[in-house]
Amino acid sequence: MFTGGLRFQGPFGTVFSRNITFGPSGIGFISEAMFSRTIRTGRLNGAGYRLKPPMPSASFRNLKKFDIHAIYAYLRTLKHEHKGK
């Protein structure tokens, strides 16, 4: 479920979900600070790769630091799986 590949159709076109598990094929390289900047800005590393649409960064922009920490901590508990296994 968290390893990506799910198809979404929307007004922005067709997109596929990303692997959000903490492994080498997922988001294991992202620090908590980078994660916070990414979900608040919709850009990986705050200025690089654009995650939206459909990344709803406008909805996440005002999350409290505690909430972002809780999301990050939860994602770190997900079992890393490679797609197709």
Instruction: Note whether residue 59 is domain-resident.
Output: yes
Instruction: Note whether residue 82 is domain-resident.
Output: no
DSSP state of 63: -
Residue pair 3/81 in contact by the 8 Å Cβ criterion: yes
Mean pLDDT rounded to a whole number for the chain: 81
Across the strands, what pairs with 50? 43
Give the pTM: 0.74
pLDDT digits (tens, 9 = 90+) for 2-29: 888 888 888 888 888 888 888 887 888 8
pLDDT, mean of residues 45-49: 64
Give the pLDDT of residue 67. Answer: 95
Q: Structurally, how many domains does the chain consist of?
A: 1
Residue pair 2/21 in contact by the 8 Å Cβ criterion: yes
Question: Torsions phi, psi of 36, nearest 5?
Answer: -60, -50
Give the pLDDT of residue 85. Answer: 46
Give the pLDDT of residue 84. Answer: 53
Residue pair 22/80 in contact by the 8 Å Cβ criterion: yes
> Measured between alpha carbons, how far is 7 from 19 in angstroms, rounded to an integer?
13
> Measured between alpha carbons, how far is 45 from 53 in angstroms, rounded to an integer?
17
Instruction: Note whether residue 11 is domain-resident.
Output: yes
Domain assignment of residue 27, given as a range = 7-77
